[in-house]
């Protein structure tokens, strides 16, 4: 029989997540429902501490849910993690200072079960460095790079195992606005080329509406879905300019939703 239902890239239903703390459990997310389509670009905003990073950690199998269900590519997060189909990029590039750019990008190969295949991937690493705009910098050390270049290394490293889901936690939050705008455009181009499902947490409302096909606004205490702003119709024929009426209107909706969080 033909499978007619497309499996969601991410499906969370009545998801509760918390952390063990002295004397009990700190509830962070409560009753969260979320479906993300394969290849979707979802951005996530919400007040500090509402559980944005926690949500990504659950999807990456770094934190177990307390209750409810969550699947990534139709499987429990642990299965997808073991297959290396999900990758994480943090605000701080988390590069090893004593390793060169090339060695930092190759890190997942060195620490994982595929360690023996390093050599075979040398050409791939060069191609990745070109893709993220780091041509000619392969032998530099992190201290010899700008903040934007370090984030590009982190993105290249995340892409090495060709993840189907990319989780990005405020990856450009520490960068100046011009660098951030440029990296936003590069990320969009990369997303279009690869069809990767991307979940991207940000504090910047403009960045959220510019990148996302949908913007998820989370409320705090407990963390839950406040609103999903859908920009897919406006972006049907490609990216909207930052000053376009559709994005200005979406920003107002996101801001209004945040005010009630």
The closest of 18, 13, 10 to 222, measured between CA atoms, is: 18
- When the beta carbons of 50 and 247 are compared against ligand ADP, the nearer one is 50
Per-residue binding string, Mg ion, 33-72, x by CB under 5 A, is: -------------------xx-------------------
Stretches 19-27, 31-39, 83-91, 141-149: which one binds ligand ADP (CB under 6 A)?
Answer: 19-27
- When the beta carbons of 17 and 73 are compared against Mg ion, the nearer one is 17
- When the beta carbons of 49 and 245 are compared against ligand ADP, the nearer one is 49
- When the beta carbons of 148 and 223 are compared against Mg ion, the nearer one is 223
Minimum CB–partner distance for residue 178 and ligand ADP (Å):
25
Q: Are 10 and 34 in contact (CB under 8 A)?
A: yes
Please identify which residue in 7, 13, 26, 144 interacts with ligand ADP, judged by CB under 6 A: 26
Q: Are 194 and 116 in contact (CB under 8 A)?
A: no
Minimum CB–partner distance for residue 102 and ligand ADP (Å):
31
Minimum CB–partner distance for residue 58 and Mg ion (Å):
13
Choose the one of Mg ion, ligand ADP, none that binds residue 46, judging by a C-beta under 5 to 8 angstroms depending on kind.
ligand ADP
- When the beta carbons of 133 and 173 are compared against Mg ion, the nearer one is 173
SS (H, E, C) the chain: CCCCCCCCCEEEEEEEEEEEECCEEEEEEEEEEEEECCCCEEEEECCCCCCHHHHHHHHCCCCCCCEEEEEECCECHHHHHHCCCEEEECCCCCCCCCCCHHHHHCHHHHHCCCHHHCHHHHHHHHHHHHHCCCCCCCCCCHHHCCHHHHHHHHHHHHHCCCCCEEEEECCCCCCCHHHHHHHHHHHHHHHHHHCCEEEEECCCHHHHHHHCCEEEEEECCCEEEEEEEECCCCCCCCCCCCCCHHHHHHHHHHHHHHHCC
Q: Are 17 and 62 in contact (CB under 8 A)?
A: no
- When the beta carbons of 131 and 218 are compared against Mg ion, the nearer one is 218
Give yes or no for residue 49 binding ligand ADP (CB under 6 A).
yes
Minimum CB–partner distance for residue 224 and ligand ADP (Å):
12
Please identify which residue in 28, 36, 109, 168 interacts with ligand ADP, judged by CB under 6 A: 28
Choose the one of Mg ion, ligand ADP, none that binds residue 28, judging by a C-beta under 5 to 8 angstroms depending on kind.
ligand ADP
Please identify which residue in 14, 19, 252, 256 interacts with ligand ADP, judged by CB under 6 A: 19
- Residues lying near ligand ADP in the complex (CB under 6 A) are found at 19, 21, 26, 28, 46, 48-54
């Amino acid at each position: 029989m033909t499978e007619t239902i497309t499996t969601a890239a991410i499906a969370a239903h009545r998801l509760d997540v918390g952390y063990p703390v002295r004397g009990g459990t700190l509830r962070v997310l409560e009753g969260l429902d979320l479906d993300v389509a394969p290849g979707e670009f979802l951005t996530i905003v919400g007040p500090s501490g509402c559980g944005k990073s926690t949500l990504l950690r659950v999807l990456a199998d770094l934190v177990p849910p307390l209750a409810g269900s969550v699947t990534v590519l139709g499987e429990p997060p642990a299965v997808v993690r073991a297959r290396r189909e999900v990758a994480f990029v943090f605000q701080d590039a988390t590069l090893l200072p004593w390793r060169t750019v090339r060695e930092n990008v190759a890190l997942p190969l060195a620490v994982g079960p595929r360690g023996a295949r390093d050599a075979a991937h040398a050409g791939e690493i060069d191609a990745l460095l070109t893709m993220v705009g780091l041509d000619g910098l392969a032998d530099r050390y992190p201290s010899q790079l700008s903040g934007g270049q370090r984030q590009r290394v982190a993105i290249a490293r995340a892409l090495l195992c060709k993840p189907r889901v990319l989780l990005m936690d405020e990856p450009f939050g520490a960068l100046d606005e011009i660098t951030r705008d440029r990296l936003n455009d590069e990320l969009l181009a990369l997303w279009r080329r690869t069809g990767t499902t991307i979940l991207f947490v940000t504090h910047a409302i403009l960045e959220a509406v510019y990148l996302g096909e949908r913007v998820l606004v989370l409320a705090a205490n407990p963390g839950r879905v406040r609103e999903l702003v859908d920009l897919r119709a406006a972006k049907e024929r490609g990216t909207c300019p930052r000053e376009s009426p559709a994005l200005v209107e979406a920003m107002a909706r996101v801001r209004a939703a945040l005010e009630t969080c």
